[in-house]
Amino acid sequence: MTERKNEEALGRREFLQLVLGTSAGLLLAPGKAFLRTVGRKETGLKVLVLGMDGLDTVLLQRYLEAGLLPHFQKLAASGTFRPLRSSIPPQSPVAWANFITGTNPGGHAIFDFVHRDPQTYLPVFSASESLPARHQLRLGQLTIPLSGGEIRNLRRGRAFWQILEEYDIPATIFKIPSNYPPVETRQRTFSGMGTPDLKGYYGLFNYYTNEYKTVTEEYGGGGRVHDVYVIGNRVEARIPGPNNPFKKGNPETYVDFKVFIDPVQPVAKIAYQDQEFILREKEWSGWKKIRFEFIPTQSVSGICLFYLKEVRPKFKLYVSPINIDPADPALPLSTPESYSRQLAQKFGPFFTKGLPADTAALENDVLDEKEFLQQDELVYQESMAMLEEELNNFRSGLLFFYFSNTDQSQHMFFRLIDRDHPAYDEKLAAEFGRVIENTYRQMDRALQLALEKVDRQTVVVVMSDHGFCPFRRGFNLNTWLLRNGYHVLRPGRRPEEVSLFQTTDWSRTRAYGVGLNALYLNLKGREAQGIVRPEDKEPLLRELAYKLEQVSDPLTGERVILKAYLSQDVFSGAHLAEAPDIILGFNRNYRISWNSPLGSFPRELIENNPQKWSGDHMTAPDLIPGVLLANRPARLESPALEDVTAGILSLFGVKIPPDISGRPVF
């Protein structure tokens, strides 16, 4: 059967999902075509949950006492204001998975942003995986996939909205993290953190300039610099797209574009495909559609933002990561599939990448602080418009709505409220030192909107997955293991030149670190070249945990690791065997270094963090609890994320399933 006949038989959408692949190896999987959203039951009580990532108890209390958050104050006075115990470790994908399933990581199998493949020792994404097409037909230079690939959500356990579905209670879940691709349900859901861009990365921007510029690559994202020439006031360049599964070798697709620069004014015209638009210097374009062609009968649509940073003396053009087009999604975004299109029809194109703010562009000085905040404001305004729409349609059941702004602004601007941070800049602090405060005030306005829209039969909950603290100093775990004889390298290269364990002697290595909080033993029978015998596992773990907790920073005298948790002591559930052996709970001001998580061995054991990414949440969870506010009293003095899950189910009269470890908080 030819590809055209295939298209006719399957329909364009299904055929694209069957064959399309991306540069990070993601393959499009056919989604279930649900005909309706379940939950026709009218509930006398409604529950609204506003998820504000990273909302911190200390900062929230500070701004409350200053009178800056009147609607948070109103909500707290009406019922509950409690610190909310986070996950071990307090990373967003782990913490939100705790909330989604009502279990700890041993039950849902998400232990870190990054896991490791025990056969190769290499890092892999924790939240999802892609499986290639099993059968392909090769015709010369043309490759035709004959079976569908699959994108698989690696989070285990039932989501609370799936449980509500069993009771015919309606739910809308908007952009909750740790739900990509969206799990099977007839409820309305839209995927959040973990959703890639069209190329399969967590965000890959493009930057076009005739000025020498480099960017630091990130695992799963970052950016590319494209050297261009201005000839006759014209620039010609390409925008890279997903890899082409129809051609041998899966080469990258691209779209040519041209920039025509006004010879006098700081203005340029950008032209590609059927698009032409004018941008002034320092102007954002708004969303632009772009289509990448595989073969004449097959293409895929994305959306992106253009920002003309400078025309002269140097040319500088930023193009955002290519987001999946919600009006024509090439990768699964929502359940039912029509939900994504309905939103696009109502609002036009909007951010679909899981973490929309381009922190990598700010980190690499491609966008400055002001430009980054302009983009972040676009994210906020889109979210507010969609929140209002969902509130207007909120008649029954549960509505969960997520904001990422609090997390992203604290990651990038903590350096400007912490005078002891290595990246503190007094001049920048004078201009941008209130960014975090202003973000909390934005959240207060979101809460105001919610309180104005709901009725008295609505339980209103505001929650965050963790808090925040400064990230001043980075600890190189693999360097520590190397110096203390637990990790051994083959001779020939200096340790600081090694990455991805390229020269590790696994026949003599007992432990290694992968990810942001994780340490693994080189366990015999589990790792491909494991040497630690099962009977030696327990004493070695206790020895490592004790020694790690004694590490102190010679610069400050502070302990670096407050608690080294043995997974077997703190996790339970069907997936405990997949957990790292030790979870590092860092002290306030500390985190894993930038290089150690990917199998590198930097020279310094503990080093300053000079980067703009200056706030973090990789500490022991007791140091940075999340926040719980509600217009109902809480029955638990020290609630955890899982207790909120149980509390939501109990509000609807749903019996708490045995696999949920939480106790009803309300």
For residues 187 and 41, what is the distance between their CA atoms, to the nearest angstrom? 13
Pairing mode, if any, of strands 334-335 and 188-191? antiparallel
Higher pLDDT, 47 or 1: 47
- Least confident stretch, 1-10, 120-129, 133-142, 557-566: 1-10
Within 10 Å of residue 296's Cβ, how many Cβ atoms?
A: 7
Task: Report the SS3 class of residue 70.
Answer: helix
Contact between 422 and 609 under an 8 Å Cβ cutoff? The reply is yes
For residues 383 and 377, what is the distance between their CA atoms, to the nearest angstrom? 10
- Which architecture, in CATH terms, is 35-109+155-195+345-467+617-666? 3-Layer(aba) Sandwich (3.40)
Q: In the predicted model, is pLDDT for residue 480 greater than 80? A: yes
Cα torsion angle, 403, 404, 407, 411, sign: negative
pLDDT in tens, 412-443: 999 999 999 999 999 999 999 999 999 999 99
For residues 292 and 302, what is the distance between their CA atoms, to the nearest angstrom? 8
Q: pLDDT class for 22, splitting at 50, 70, 90?
A: very low
- Whether the ω angle into residue 313 lies within 30 degrees of 0, i.e. cis, is yes
Task: Report the SS3 class of residue 316.
Answer: strand
- Amino acid 649: pLDDT: 98
- Amino acid 132: pLDDT: 65
- Amino acid 35: pLDDT: 29
The closest of 89, 223, 142, 39 to 515, measured between CA atoms, is 89
For residues 297 and 10, what is the distance between their CA atoms, to the nearest angstrom? 14
Q: Where are the domains of the chain?
A: 35-109+155-195+345-467+617-666, 472-613
Contact between 171 and 398 under an 8 Å Cβ cutoff? The reply is yes
The closest of 384, 398, 409, 400 to 463, measured between CA atoms, is 400
Q: In the predicted model, is pLDDT for residue 20 greater than 70? A: no
- Amino acid 221: pLDDT: 77
- Mention every residue, 6+ apart, whose C-beta is less than 8 A from residue 458: 45, 46, 47, 48, 394
Q: In the predicted model, is pLDDT for residue 28 greater than 50? A: no
Q: In the predicted model, is pLDDT for residue 446 greater than 50? A: yes
- Amino acid 144: pLDDT: 52
Within 10 Å of residue 552's Cβ, how many Cβ atoms?
A: 13
- For tokens 């999604």, name the residue: 329
- Least confident stretch, 211-215, 450-454, 552-556, 582-586: 211-215
Buried b (16+ CB within 10 A) or exposed e, 518-546: bbbbbbeebbeebebeeeebeebbeebbe
Q: In the predicted model, is pLDDT for residue 514 greater than 90? A: yes
Q: pLDDT class for 197, splitting at 50, 70, 90?
A: very high
- Amino acid 393: pLDDT: 95
Pairing mode, if any, of strands 46-52 and 397-403? parallel
pLDDT in tens, 200-250: 999 999 999 999 998 876 666 799 999 999 999 999 999 999 999 888 888
Helices vs strands, H then E, count in the chain: 17, 32
The angle, 0 to 180 degrees and rounded to 10, between the axes of the packed helices 369-392 and 435-453 is 10
Contact between 84 and 640 under an 8 Å Cβ cutoff? The reply is yes
The reported pTM is 0.91
- Whether the ω angle into residue 336 lies within 30 degrees of 0, i.e. cis, is yes
Mean pLDDT, rounded, for 150-159: 92
Mean pLDDT, rounded, for 477-485: 98
pLDDT > 90 in the chain, percent: 86
pLDDT in tens, 341-362: 999 999 999 999 999 999 999 9
- Amino acid 149: pLDDT: 64
- Amino acid 218: pLDDT: 65
- Amino acid 24: pLDDT: 36
Mean pLDDT of the chain: 91
- Amino acid 219: pLDDT: 61
Mean pLDDT, rounded, for 516-532: 98
Mean pLDDT, rounded, for 149-155: 85
